[in-house]
Amino acid sequence: MDFLRPGSWEEALAAKAEHPTAVPIAGGTDVMVEINFDHRRPEYLLDLNRIGELNDWEVGEDSVRLGASVPYTSIMENLRAELPGLALASHTVASPQIRNRGGVGGNLGTASPAGDAHPALLAAGAEVEVESVRGSRRIPIDDFYTGVKRNALAADELIRAVHIKKAEGPQQFSKVGTRNAMVIAVCAFGLALHPSSRTVRTGIGSAAPTPVRAKAAEEFLNAALEEGGFWDNGKIITPSVAKQFADLCAAACNPIDDVRGTASYRRHAVGIMARRTLTWTWESYRGTAATEGAA
């Protein structure tokens, strides 16, 4: 095994081009488990810790450019206002020690259906900025997950950053597990309200081969909210609408039975989380809408 230690982003891209089988290592919280247990013996490890800019984030007008290696702890501490869904999701990852090392770049690299960043990214709307010596491109998050633990990266590409839409409305993240810390999701659900476009977006984790959006549920809800004038009148969402939304979210799942839970439990739980996160975010939206109306 060789340990490659590029000192700059350009060097990292060059190393990855020269050794496309090199396994990048950022926080190491996925990679090292595999190496410790001999599940993986890469020819090359490509250390990204020396590349300072991967730990930086920039808050722009409409989006946040989040460096691939920004640890979950920093997201929780610094980006709660801009990225509330991702900050909530980050807080549910593992433990403080893991959150101090692991980040969204590694979560996307692993592309596990159970990765907690994914539902939040899908719901908020995001693009993954990837680069190789051939150039840079942005992959819409909806196109990023291509299969179980597979993503759209080419062999010579590295993730530079994730561009995530800044929240312009309430966001929620919900996760089912056996305890509060150190839990891989049985299933998870992210939801974001986008008042300016009058849309709701969702993200489902651990209930299909890849993280997915519940698109039919979103379309149904967007139409129902529009039709009832809900965005303007700020009324409570009709229980029948919430139920239909929840059912459609459950139907968007394609889960399996495994040690963490059964397929039918996952489908059920996703429906419950969909209804709850919709209620929480909508109540919060109504609250702010009412304040603005009164002001």
Partner 1 sequence: MRVNFTVNGRPQEADDVWEGESLLYVLRERLGLPGAKNACEQGECGSCTVRLDGVPVCSCLVAAGQVEGREVVTVEGLAEYARQRTCGSGKCDTSAKGATSLDDAQRWSAHGTDSQTGEGTELSPVQQAFIDAGAVQCGFCTPGLLVAADEMLERNPTPTDADIREALSGNLCRCTGYETIMNAVRLAAARQSEAV
Ligand X SMILES: Cc1cc2nc3c(=O)[nH]c(=O)nc-3n(C[C@H](O)[C@H](O)[C@H](O)COP(=O)(O)OP(=O)(O)OC[C@H]3O[C@@H](n4cnc5c(N)ncnc54)[C@H](O)[C@@H]3O)c2cc1C
Contact yes or no for 83/164 (Cβ under 8 A): yes
Restricting to residues 126-185, name those near partner 1 by CB under 8 A: 180-182
* Residue 224 binds to partner 1 (criterion: CB under 8 A): no
List, in sequence order, the alpha helices (H) in the chain.
9-18, 31-36, 72-78, 84-91, 96-99, 104-110, 117-124, 141-144, 215-227, 230-233, 239-251, 263-294
Q: Assign residue 70 a region (left: φ > 0; alpha: ψ between -120 and 50; beta: otherwise).
A: beta
Q: Residue 94 has what DSSP assignment?
A: S
Q: Are 200 and 226 in contact (CB under 8 A)?
A: no
107 or 210, CB closer to ligand X? 107
Of these, 28, 195, 209, 228, which contacts partner 1 (CB under 8 A)?
28
- Partners of 112 in the beta sheet? none
- Dump strand ranges (E) for 69-214: 126-132, 135-140, 145-147, 150-151, 158-165, 171-176, 187-194, 199-205
Question: Which of partner 1, ligand X, none does residue 106 bind to, with CB < 5 to 8 Å depending on kind?
Answer: ligand X
How is the beta sheet containing 126-132 ordered, strand by strand? 57-59, 63-67, 158-165, 126-132, 135-140
Site residues for ligand X, 12-31, by CB under 6 A, read 23-31
Of 4 and 158, the one with the shorter C-beta distance to ligand X is 158
* 216 lines the binding site for partner 1 (CB under 8 A): no
Judged by CB under 6 A, does residue 170 bind ligand X?
no
Of the two residues 182 and 223, which places its CB atom closer to ligand X in the complex? 182
Check binding of 6 to ligand X (CB under 6 A). no
Nearer to ligand X, 116 or 218 (CB): 116
The one among 84, 105, 170, 261 contacting ligand X by CB under 6 A: 105
Q: Does 80 bind partner 1 (CB under 8 A)?
A: no
- Binding partner of 79, given partner 1, ligand X, none, CB within 5-8 angstroms per partner class: none
Q: Quote the CA–CA distance of 176 and 174 in Å, as a whole number.
A: 7
- Residue with Cβ nearer ligand X (26 or 246): 26
Q: Does 29 bind partner 1 (CB under 8 A)?
A: yes
State how far Cα 123 lies from the chain centre: 8
The residue ranges that bind partner 1 (CB under 8 A) are 1-3, 5, 25, 27-29, 31-33, 35-37, 41-42, 45, 47, 49, 94-98, 100-101, 180-182
